Structure 1
Amino acid sequence: MQKTILLIFAFVLFLNYSFAQSQEQIPVRMAMVGLSHGHSPWIFNRKDKTDVDLVGIYEPNRELSANYTKRYGLDPKLFYTDLDKMLEETSPEAVLAFGSIFDHLEAVEKAAPRGIHVMVEKPLTYSLEQALKMENLAKKHQIHLLTNFETSWYASTEKTYQLFQDTDKFGEIRKAVFHHGHKGPKEIGVGKEFLDWLTDPIQNGGGALIDFGCYGANIMTYLMKGRRPVSVTAVTNTFKPEIYPKVDDEATIILDYGDAQAIIQASWNWPFDRKDMEVYGETGYVISEDKSRMRLKTWGQDEERIEVSPKDLGVFVDPFTYFAKVIRGEIKMEKHSLYSLSNNMIVVEILDAARKSAASKQTVFL
C-alpha cells in the first residue's frame, strides 16, 4: 500500500514538473497594436529570443507597415488594418500597444473582453477618465495590464528603492528630484508618424509634461510604496512655439506628500539626453547619474561611487521577457511595482492633476 502511494506521489510530481517545463517552453503569442511609437522596433531587434512569438500586427497606415516589412524582413501576412480581424484570426495571448497614448484605451477595450493581456508603452494613458475605464476592464476580465518604462530596466532605479529600505542608514525619503528629457522629439529626429501624435494635444494629451513627466511620477510612486501625493502643482511653458505650437515643451511638477516632496523636471529643452534622479533621506542621499552609475552619501561618511548591473539586482532589461513571465505566472508583480496597474493609475492621476494645475495656475489637491 505504501509503495503504491509513493508511486502515485512520484507520478504527480512528474506531471507537475512536465507541465511546468511545457509551459516554460511554449512561447507567449503576442500581437502588436500600432507601430507609430518610436520604441516599436524593440521587439524586432530580439530575434535571438524564443519566449515570444509575434503572431500579428495591427497598423492602419499601410505605408508604415510597408516600411517595417522591408526594414525587418517581416512576412506581409503578419499585418492587418482591422484590429478585430487580427485578434480573431491570430488568437494572441497578449498585445503590445505601440500606437498613440490616446489609442491605448481602444487596445484594452478590444483585448480585455477576449481575455487577452495588454502591455502599453508609457504612460498608461493621459486622462484619468480613460485610465478608470481601462482599470475596470482589466479587473472585470482578469487580465494583466502593464505599462513599460525604459527606467524600469535601470539597475539604478531598483538599487535606489532597495537602499531606502534601510531607513537606519538613509532615513525616510524627504525629497526627490527627477530630470527626464532631451533636446526635443523633432530635434533628435524621431519618425514623422511618432512626431505627429507626440505633438498633438489629443493623441498625446500634452507635450513634455506627459512624455517625460510620467517617469518621475512612476518612480516616485514606487519609492513611496504606492502612496498618492496630497497635492500636485505644475508649471508648463512652450519655449519653441515655432516647433511645438500645440503643446508644452517644458514642465515642472511638484508633488507634496505631507512628509516628503518630489520635483519632476520634464523637458524637450535639455541640451543633452537626461534620465537621472536625486533622492534625499533624513540622513543620506542616493544620486543616480544614469542606469548604472550612482553616488551615495550618509552622515559622517565620504561620498561613495558605485556601479550596479541588472543581473546583480535581478532587473529585467527586456520588457517582453518580463511580460511573458508575468503571463506564465513565473513573476508576481508587487502591487506598487513599476509595471503594475495600481502604480500607473496613480501616475495618470498625477499627470491629469498636473495638466489641470498648469492650466489653472493653482495647486490641485487629490
Structure 2
Amino acid sequence: MKKSILLVLITVFLSTTVCVANVAEKPVRLAVAGMSHGHISFILGRPDKGDFELVGVCEADQELTGILKKRYNLDSDIIYSDLEKMLDEVKPEAVVAFGSIYDHLAVVKACAPRGIDVMVEKPLAVSMDHAKQMAALAKKYNIHLLTDYETSWYPTTAKSFQLVKDEKNVGTVRKVVIHDGHKGPKEIGCDKYFLDWLTDPVLNGGGAIVDFGCYGANLMTALTNGETPLSVTAVTRQLKPDIYTKVDDDATIVVSYPESNCIIQASWNWPFSRKDMEIYGTDGYVFADNKNDMRIRTRNTGDEIALKVTANDVAVYEDPFAYFYDVITGKITQPPYGLYSLENNMMVVQILDAARQSAKTGKTIKIKPTKE
C-alpha cells in the first residue's frame, strides 16, 4: 500500500514538473512589422530555437511580400498588409520592426495599447518628437521598447566596457573615436525596397549621419552611463550626389562631455566595411577593431597586447532576439542606459537631432537634458 501511494505521489510530481516545464518553455508569439529593412534576414532566416513562434508578418508592398514569401517559405495564412488587423487576429506577445525608421512610431502606437513588447532596428526614431511619443506610449502601457544594434552583439564591445569599468586599465576616459560604415548602401548591393527609404531624409531621418552615426551615439551613451553631452558639432558631406541625391553620405560628429570628447565618423564612403572603436584614457587605450579582435595598451601592460575575444570570454548576447526574449520574459533586467535600453536610445536621438541641426546651421548645438 505504501509503495502504491508513493508511486502515485511520484507520478503526480513528475506530471506537475513536466507541465511546469512545458509552460516555462512555451514560445513567445512573435510578429514582424514591416519587411523592407535589409536586416529582415536576421529574423526570417533565424533558426528555430524554441523561444519564439512566428505568428504574423506585415508588409504593405505586395511585390516585396511575394519575394520574401518565396525566399523564406512563409505560410500565406500569417501574411498581412494591415498592421492593426494582424495584431488583432494573430495576437502576438512581441513585435520586431523591420520597416523604415519613420514607421517605428506607428508600430509602437499600434502595439503599446495592446500590451505588446517591441524591438526596433536602430535607431529608435527619426526625431525627438517621434522618440518622445514612443517613450510616453511605452511608459503608459508598461511595455518593453528595445533598439537593436549590431555592435551590441560584439564580444569586443562587452570586453571594452568591462576594461573601461575597471579604471586600473585605462584610467579616466578622455576621448573615444568610433568609425562605422561601408562603401555605400547601393554599392554593397542593398535592394530597392531598402534603398527607397534608407536614402529618404524623411523616412530615414538622414543619410550616413543617421544610418551609422547612431552607433557611436549609442556606444558613448553606454560608456558614460547616460551622461548628458554639453554640445554636438557636426559636418556632413554629399560626396556622391549623383547616387545619394537627397541625403548626406558622410558625417563627422563631435560630442563633447564635461571630461571627454567622442568623435563619431559615419560614412557611406569607406573603402571597406568597418565597425570599430578606440577608447583613450589617462592610463591607456582599448581598440575594438571588429567583433572579435581588439588591442590594449596600459601602464600595466607596457607594450600593446592583441586579444581575440569570443562570447565564451565575456558575458554578451550574440543573438539580439535571445536578449529580447530574456527581457520580455523577465529573465534579465536591462541595465540603466544599456545598449538596447530606451533611456540610452532617447539620448541617441537627441544627439542625432543636434548633429543634423549643427550640420545644417554650421553651429555647435548645446544639449539640454532629455525629458521623457
* TM-score, structure 1 as length reference: 0.94
Q: Is the 8 A contact 1:24 1:328 kept in 2?
A: no
Aligned match of 2:57:
57
- Residues in 2 aligned to 1:183 and 1:238: alpha-carbon distance in whole angstroms: 13
Deviations 1:128-157 (A, max 9, x none): 010000000000000000000000000000
Q: CA deviation at 1:19?
A: 8.0
**Amino acid in the other structure paired with 1:325:** D
Amino acid at match of 2:346: M
Deviations 1:76-134 (A, max 9, x none): 11110111110000000011110000000000000000000000000001200100000
Equivalenced residues, count: 354
* CA distance in structure 1 between the aligned counterparts of 2:38 and 2:150, rounded to whole angstroms: 13
Query: In the alignment, what sits opposite 1:72?
Result: 72
- Please give the alpha-carbon distance, in whole angstroms, between the structure 1 residues aligned to 2:32 and 2:169: 45
Retained in 1: the 8 A contact 2:58–2:83?
yes
What displacement does 1:23 show?
4.6
Change over 3 Å in CA distance of 1:330–1:18 after alignment to 2 = farther
Partner AA of 1:304 in structure 2: I
Aligned to 1:360: 361
Q: Give the corresponding residue for 2:323.
A: 322
How many Å separate the matches in 2 of 1:23 and 1:217? Answer: 40
SS in 2 for 1:217: helix
Provide the rounded CA distance (Å) in 1 between the counterparts of 2:351 and 2:20. 40
CA RMSD, 1 decimal: 1.6
Letter in 1 for 2:216: G
Residues 143 and 17 of structure 1: CA distance in aligned 2, closer, same or farther (over 3 Å):
farther
- For 2:220 and 2:24, the matched residues in 1 are separated by 33
Deviates more, 1:13-22 or 1:29-38: 13-22
Secondary structure at the aligned position of 1:305 is classed as strand
The residue aligned with 1:334 is: 335
Task: Quote the Cα distance in structure 1 between the aligned partners of 2:104 and 2:26.
Answer: 27
For 2:16 and 2:330, the matched residues in 1 are separated by 14
CA contact (8 A) 1:23 1:328 kept: no
Q: Is there any run of 5+ residues in structure 2 with no aligned partner, and where? A: 1-12, 368-372
- Alignment-derived partner of residue 170 in structure 2: 170
Tell me the CA shift for residue 250 of structure 1: 0.4
SS of structure 1 residue aligned to 2:168: helix
The residue matched to 1:101 in structure 2 has which SS?
A: coil
Alignment of 1:144-163 (within 5 A): 144-163=144-163
Matched, 1:201 2:201: yes
Following the alignment from structure 1 to structure 2, what is the Cα–Cα distance between the partners of residues 16 and 138?
Answer: 36
Query: By how many angstroms is 1:48 displaced?
Result: 3.5
Letter in 2 for 1:351: L
CA distance in 2, matches of 1:16, 1:202: 54
Measured at CA, do residues 221 and 333 of structure 1 come closer, stay the same or move farther in structure 2, by a change above 3 Å? Answer: same
Give how far 1:47 is off. 2.6
Equivalent position SS for 2:42: helix
Query: What residue ranges of structure 1 are gaps of 5+ in the alignment?
Result: 1-12
Give, as a single letter, the amino acid of the residue that structure 1 aligns with 2:222: Y
Residue 14 of structure 1: CA displacement?
10
- Say if 1:146 and 1:341, in contact at 8 Å, map to a contact too: yes
Which amino acid is 1:319 matched to?
P
Aligned counterpart, 1:296? 296
Cα distance change of structure 1 residues 88 and 348 upon mapping to structure 2, 3 Å threshold? same
Percent of pairs identical after alignment? 55
Deviation of 1:299 after TM superposition, in Å, equals: 2.2
